[in-house]
Chain A
Amino acid sequence: MNWPQVIADLWPQVRRKHLWPELPMPQMGTIEAPVAMQMRDKQITLNTATCEELAESMTPSAVIEALLDHGVSHYTRCPWDLATHLQLYATAKAELGRKSLARLATDSFIDVVANTACVKEVATPLPEVYRHLGGGLLQGALTALYTQIWGMELHGSADPALVRRLARIPYLDRQQWTHSLRRFVQLLRPLLEEEGRGRQPKPPALGHHSLESYSQAEVTLGLQAFAQQVQDIQQFCDVVQDFARELAALGYGKAAGEGVGPQVDAEALYYMQLAQSYHLPVRGVPMERSGVLEPYSHAPWEASQPVHDIDIWTSFGKLLPGLSQIWKRRQGLVYGQREGTPDCLLVLDSSGSMPNPRAQLSEAVLGAACAAEAYLRHQARVAVYNFSDALMGGKTVLPFTTDRQAIYESLCVYHGGGTSLRPRDLDELRLTVPRTTPDLLLITDMQLTNLEDVIDYLTGIEGRITVVHIGENSATGRFRAATRHHPRLQIFTVLERQDIPKIVLGQVRRYLSGLQAPG
């Protein structure tokens, strides 16, 4: 069978039916798993072996059309985007606990939604595929469900009471998908557990849904949206770790051979995605008058005007008033001078009194991450000094860099324990900046054992300093009194931790837009 030709003939019709989705021409291929199709970076690949098998019971064109309808429905209806996909997976994982079962449940639910939407909205031979598709208990139950909700006899078999209950789920109501999936999982739990008993469950007959089906840009946007939607950092990390292999392949993991443990630093990724949602406007480069008159437009030459401005090319070689064209000159605009953005040294307190960023959302880390993003977007470099009892070695030092992953990993380190800052470390870091004095951002609860040393150091250095301290205590009063007259030192008292990112961003915005911070 000339399958590529069948695809080429049918693809325009399928695209038309589904209102021209932006998908490349599907292709035939050999897939290792016993599935009918797969989608990688929006490229649909149909399994030749499955098509041959189905073609024994259906016409080849019906096989291809049905499988393409199924594939396109996933793109145009469910899961639609990665954030939705991850949200559905998180719901299933919360109910089932086991990764493989949660993936199977999510895939099955997504299939039911996409197939039902397809059968409802377009003319498709998709039900025929399910009539001839084999499968275990789970697939049998889903086929019986299709029989019930599509009104076509497809020969599935399952407990009628189960099918009646499954048929009452509003699959096409997008607003209720997480609620519907929860009910779907509750009802199918025994069958899902039977599928996964003691082994890896078989994938759905028409294929798995993995992150590989999304483009790089969709993954980036999806992770950002998912970080906003999750209840807490644990849920994000739980889900991301389950997709670690795919995310690492997409460039979100550690480099090959680097470190031990999980492939993806999920906590660092969480703060990275959250920080992306705090945007700082990039200031346009100002234009200035150059002071030089440049030819701008033509005007008819008059006898009283000088002849050296006549444009001989548009005057047809004639020197006649009214016919000859003279250049009108205007002062040119050039890019004006702008100060470069300095680098930034982030000094972050991760002592025992601060929340552990890997266990719960740490606004201190998020604030530092927002500042890092703002400086990185302006082509500046960022250094991290993450400390607890630095005098006793409790510190993580990252020299100035633009390596976003390294910055986030350094910010997410939690030391616990006491709080002391070693000024010499900061000096060493600052001296590595050859071009300008770096900005310094310190986030702490100010309960430093060597507070006097820190005050002396900060009041004696150059550059702009922002101190964000959390809560009021005697140390903060001493610090404020000692630095009251410092012209470049800004202190912000934070009573609500969730205000930290906004304060940091507000201050960074002032710096980057060149405003003079009040002393």
Chain B
Amino acid sequence: MNPFEAFRSYNAVQRELPLDRILARRDAVLQRLLQHYQAFIDEESKQLIWVVEQGALSRAYTTAVEAIKGVDFSVEDLEDMCLELDASDGVTTPMGAPSGLFIAAMCNHVPADDISLNLRIFRRRWPFLGYRLPRGRRLYLDGDAGDFVGALLEGGDVVVTGNAGNYAGIGMKTGTVQIGYSTGKYTGEGMRGGTLRVGGRIAALGRVKQGDIYEGDLQVFPVTNPEKPAAVKPLAGTARHK
């Protein structure tokens, strides 16, 4: 005789809340993005040595754009994706430049014009944030950005509230990059247009072609008064004023 036969399992009736739907959608989108990211990283890791050069960047960026095509994601999904990439739990494979390019591709294709990322909460400093940001989009980065911020900018506005690493604004065509504090070496390297404003100090300018660069209120490129030496010395043998 079963002494517990009078007992019945109890299943409490639970309401479905909007929270459940929000989380289910979030998880589904995140899952797809992570899968595409991993495929992208697998593809890029086939390169024996990943060198930052125009051809590799262009190819990797195109692959990243292809990877996220068809995924309906929002700015919040972009943030959650950054949180996932920042977590060192082994679920995702961090890979410097390609990871940054993947985030840049998401920023350029998310259905929103104003994108804000709080970099203070991330441990990683991804390079290439703002890469090829198109006209009409504004990327607001709260905190310190890594190298190559605003690279090959295509008319968008990039705002960094903290410092930026080396090669800020490299190859930018049009648009604006504003750095709250200081930038590293090779600032404005290969810049062909647009405006780069640095609130603090520029460690060293790169080989700038065209565009405007300001250090504080002082325009350091092109130098407006040839009598007065520029406050920022270009790296030896690299400055080439057109």
Binds B, one of A167-175, A207-215, A503-511: A167-175
CB pair B18–A168 under 8 Å, yes or no, is: no
Q: From residue 8 to 32 of chain B, which have CB atoms closer than 8 A to chain A? A: 10, 12, 14-15, 17-19, 22-23, 26
Q: Which B residues between 42 and 64 are near A, CB-CB below 8 angstroms?
A: none
Question: Are the C-beta atoms of B22 and A121 separated by less than 8 Å?
Answer: no
Given contacts A164-B76, A167-B22, A183-B83, contact A149 B118 (CB under 8 A): no
Say if the beta carbon of A186 comes within 8 Å of chain B.
yes
Among A122, A149, A168, contact of B17 (Cβ-Cβ < 8 Å): A149
* Inter-chain contact A148/B15, CB cutoff 8 Å: no
Which residues on B sit within 8 Å (CB–CB) of A484? none
Cβ of B1 within 8 Å of any chain A Cβ, yes or no, is no
Q: Does A40 contact B (CB under 8 A)?
A: no
Say what secondary structure dominates the interface of chain B.
helix
- Which residue of A19, A121, A168, A186 contacts B23 across the interface (Cβ within 8 Å)? A168
A433 at the interface (CB under 8 A from B): no
For the complex, give the distance between the alpha carbons of A230 and B83 in Å: 23
Question: Is B6's beta carbon under 8 Å from chain A?
Answer: no
Would you call the interface of chain A mostly helix, strand, loop, or mixed? helix
For B15, the closest partner residue in chain A by CB is: A120
- Tell whether, in the assembled complex, residue A168 and residue B14 are in contact, meaning their CB atoms are under 8 Å apart: no
B14 contact set on A, CB distance < 8 A: 120-121
- How many Å from the CB of A160 to the closest CB on chain B? 11
A116 CB-CB contact with B under 8 Å: yes
Say yes or no for B79: interface residue by CB 8 A criterion: yes
Q: Is the CB of B79 within 8 A of A167?
A: no
In whole Å, how far is B137's beta carbon from the nearest beta carbon of chain A? 16
Known: A149-B22, A168-B23. A186 touches B118 (CB 8 A): yes
How many interface residues does B have (CB within 8 Å)? 16
A171 touches B76 (CB 8 A): no
Q: Does B80 reach chain A (CB closer than 8 Å)?
A: yes
Is B26 a contact partner of A168 (Cβ separation < 8 A)?
Answer: yes
Contact of A168 with B118 in the complex, beta carbons under 8 Å: no
Known A-B contacts A167-B22, A168-B80; A186 and B121 likewise in contact (beta carbons under 8 Å): yes
- Residues in chain B near residue A150, CB distance under 8 A: 17-19
Q: How far is the CA of A167 from the CA of B23 in the complex (A)?
A: 8
Q: Which residues between 32 and 91 of chain B lie within 8 Å of chain A, taking CB atoms?
A: 76, 79-80, 83
The reply on A286 being an interface residue by CB < 8 A is no
Q: Which residues of B sit under 8 angstroms from A148, Cβ to Cβ?
A: 18, 22
Q: How far is the CB of A176 from chain B (nearest CB, A)?
A: 11
B26 closest partner in A (C-beta): A168
Q: Which residues of A contact B80 (CB under 8 A)?
A: 168
Q: Number of A residues whose C-beta is below 8 Å from B?
A: 19
CB proximity of A320 to chain B, nearest CB, Å:
43
Chain B nearest CB: distance from A361 CB in Å?
24
Most buried by A among B14, B18, B79: B18
Across the interface, name the chain A residue whose C-beta is closest to B22. A167
Set of chain B residues within 8 Å of A186, measured between Cβ atoms: 118, 121
CB of B10, distance to nearest CB on chain A (Å): 8
Q: A118-162 interface mask toward B, CB cutoff 8 Å, 1 = contact, 0 = none? A: 011110000000000000000000000000111100000000000
A119 touches B17 (CB 8 A): yes
B16 smallest CB distance to A (angstroms): 8
Distance in Å: Cβ of B90 to nearest Cβ of chain A:
15
Name the CB-closest residue of B to A170: B23
Whether A486 sits at the interface, judged by CB under 8 Å, is no
| Chain A residues whose CB sits within 8 angstroms of the CB of B15 once the complex forms | 119-121
Smallest CB-CB separation from B23: which chain A residue? A170
Check if A165 is an interface residue, CB within 8 A of chain B: yes
> A19, A121, A149: which contacts B18 (Cβ < 8 A)?
A149
Given contacts A121-B12, A121-B14, A183-B83, A167 and B19 within 8 Å (CB-CB): yes
B19 contact from A19, A121, A165, A171, Cβ within 8 A? A171
Q: State A121–B83 Cα separation when bound (angstroms).
A: 30
* Chain A, residue nearest B27 (CB): A170
CB-CB < 8 A to A120: which residues of B?
A: 14-15, 17, 19
A470 to B17, CA, bound (A): 58
Q: Which residues of B contact A121 (CB under 8 A)?
A: 12, 14-15
Nearest-neighbour CB distance to chain B for A17, whole angstroms, equals: 9
**Bound CA–CA A186/B120 (angstroms):** 9
Alpha-carbon gap, A183 to B80, bound state (A): 10
A116 to B23: give the CA distance in the assembly, Å.
14
Residues of chain A contacted by B76 (CB below 8 angstroms): 164-165, 168
Name the A residues within 8 Å of B26 (CB-CB). Answer: 168
User: What residues of B have a CB within 8 angstroms of the CB of A19 in the complex?
Assistant: 10
CB contacts under 8 Å to B, within A323-357, are none
B72 to nearest A CB, angstroms? 15
Q: Chain B residue with minimal CB distance to A187?
A: B118
CA distance A150 to B15 in the complex (A): 10
In the complex, how many angstroms separate the beta carbon of B89 from the nearest chain A beta carbon?
10
Question: Which chain A residues border B19 with CB–CB below 8 Å?
Answer: 116, 120, 149-150, 167, 171-172
Q: Report chain B residues within 8 Å CB of A151.
A: 17-18
In Å, the complex CA distance between A149 and B76 comes to 16
Question: Which residues in B have their C-beta under 8 angstroms from that of A165?
Answer: 76, 79
B79, closest chain A residue (CB): A165
Q: How far is the CA of A119 from the CA of B13 in the complex (A)?
A: 11
A selection of 19 A-B contacts at a CB cut-off of 8 Å is A116-B19, A119-B17, A120-B14, A120-B15, A150-B17, A150-B18, A150-B19, A151-B18, A165-B79, A167-B18, A167-B22, A168-B22, A168-B23, A168-B26, A168-B76, A168-B80, A170-B23, A183-B83, A186-B118
12 new A-B contacts at CB < 8 Å, known A120-B19, A172-B19:
A116-B17, A120-B17, A121-B14, A148-B18, A150-B17, A151-B17, A165-B79, A167-B19, A167-B22, A168-B22, A170-B23, A186-B118
Q: Which 7 A-B pairs have the closest CB atoms?
A: A149-B19, A151-B18, A186-B121, A168-B26, A167-B22, A120-B15, A120-B17
